[in-house]
């Protein structure tokens, strides 16, 4: 692949990233209302992918990025609750 082709591909990825982030963030935000749905999201999609989606949305859609951050916070709280309940 030529250097120009690589540059075009990277530019396209950077430009398209926020659009691909939206469905991930929206699904994550919707799943935080129910612990079973949240666990399913984590199993199928993963928190790492949500973190990547939030980072991609930060520049182009700060509101979407904030929704993603709230979902990340909810997932962290679920994890903390699960961890603390195992200790008891």
The closest alpha carbon to 77, from 49, 42, 52, belongs to: 42
Cα–Cα distance for residue pair 81/32, rounded to 1 Å: 14
Can you give the pTM of this predicted structure? 0.75
- Per run of 10 residues, the mean pLDDT along the chain (length 88 residues) is 68 60 95 94 94 89 95 94 74
Residue 3 is predicted with a pLDDT of 80
- Could you count the other beta carbons within 10 Å of the beta carbon of residue 4? 8
Cα–Cα distance for residue pair 40/46, rounded to 1 Å: 9
Q: Where are the domains of the chain?
A: 3-87
Residue 42 is predicted with a pLDDT of 94
Residue 27 is predicted with a pLDDT of 97
Q: What token pair was written down for 28?
A: 């994550």
Residue 17 is predicted with a pLDDT of 58
């Amino acid at each position: 692949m030529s250097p120009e082709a690589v540059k075009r591909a990277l530019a396209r990825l950077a430009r398209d990233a926020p659009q691909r982030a939206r469905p991930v963030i929206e699904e994550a935000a919707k799943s935080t209302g129910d612990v079973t749905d949240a666990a399913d999201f984590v199993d199928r999609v993963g928190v790492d992918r949500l973190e990547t989606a939030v980072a991609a949305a930060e520049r182009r859609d700060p509101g979407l990025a904030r929704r993603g951050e709230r979902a990340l916070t909810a997932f962290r709280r679920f994890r903390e609750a699960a961890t603390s309940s195992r200790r008891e």
